[in-house]
Amino acid sequence: MSTLGPTMKIHAVAPDRIIVIMPAFNEQEALPSTLAGLLATPLPLDVVVIDDGSSDDTAAIATANGAVCLQLPFNLGIGGALRTGFRYAVELGYQRGIQFDADGQHDASQIEALLAPLAEGADMVVGSRFAGAGDYRVGRSRGFAMNILRWAIRRLAGQRFTDTSSGFRSFGPEVLALFAAEYPIEYMDSVEALVMSCRAGFDVREVPTVMHERTGGVASNRSFRLAYHYVRVLVSLANTPKAQRRVAETSA
């Protein structure tokens, strides 16, 4: 039986198809242009929108604009929705996947740049807002918080990333399988997922990408919630066993 449930019919896909995994919560305004941008590229993209208990017409609009829509019975948050998308990708046999926001902030024309390192052997690629492309800026306090995260991840992952929380990423088959089996479900999942894949020994790279303003709807990152999860992620990173990592490094 499929892990997606007994009612879903599973078909294997052609090996060149690429799955775009798109978490969406109340995104009816932005979805039509986001999906049109994706489907206008010459790439063999299939889009799965994970509608996470939206109260608007997200699901109907996703389907009407060329995506498959998985509807969760209640809100699981971005991480739970992404895990659903990874499971869907693995069940259908996709070999490459893209994580892409519904709100219009990511740019479909950059997907090729995100896929290129996979062809050269990378397992996962992070699209960075802070690596020279575009002019995305954050305020002082957010910038300071991001610097601490960068430092913590550099220590734990043994590698420097300029954008640890970007939600614009590409994945090869093994990382899709890892994330289908376990993906962090708490808010700020992207930071923990980055550490997970690096520590699992995958080849994770970063490429510069632009980021736009939302084209509609409302962002989910209310400041109290963001601050709480920022502290939670730092505590969880601080508790990631270092001894294990040192052994891994010396035996490499």
- Give the residues lining the site for ligand GDP (CB under 6 A): 23-25, 27, 50, 52, 75, 77-78, 81, 101-103, 105, 167, 219-221
Question: Around Cβ 224, how many Cβ atoms within 10 Å?
Answer: 7
Nearer to Mg ion, 219 or 243 (CB): 219
From Mg ion, ligand GDP, none, interface partner of 78 (C-beta below 5 to 8 A by class):
ligand GDP
CB of 191: closest distance to ligand GDP in angstroms? 11
Tokens of 139: 């305020």
Q: Residues, the chain, total?
A: 252
Looking only at residues 84 through 143 of this chain, which bind Mg ion when binding is defined by CB under 5 A? 103, 105
- Which residues have C-beta within 8 Å of that of residue 87, sequence separation ≥ 6? 3, 4, 180
CB of 218: closest distance to ligand GDP in angstroms? 7
Nearer to Mg ion, 34 or 170 (CB): 34
How far is 239 from 173, CA to CA, in rounded Å? 29
Say what angle helices 189-199 and 223-238 make with each other, to 10 degrees.
20
From Mg ion, ligand GDP, none, interface partner of 198 (C-beta below 5 to 8 A by class):
none
From Mg ion, ligand GDP, none, interface partner of 46 (C-beta below 5 to 8 A by class):
none
Torsion-angle region of 66 (φ positive above 0: left; ψ -120 to 50: alpha; else: beta): left
Site size toward Mg ion, by CB under 5 A: 2
Percent helix, strand and coil across the chain, each to the nearest 5: 45, 15, 45
Q: In what order do the strands lie in the sheet with 18-24?
A: 68-71, 45-51, 18-24, 96-99, 169-171, 124-128, 204-208
Say whether residue 27 binds Mg ion (CB under 5 A). no
Nearer to Mg ion, 103 or 192 (CB): 103
Nearer to ligand GDP, 101 or 123 (CB): 101
CB of 78: closest distance to ligand GDP in angstroms? 5
Contact set with Mg ion (CB under 5 A): 103, 105
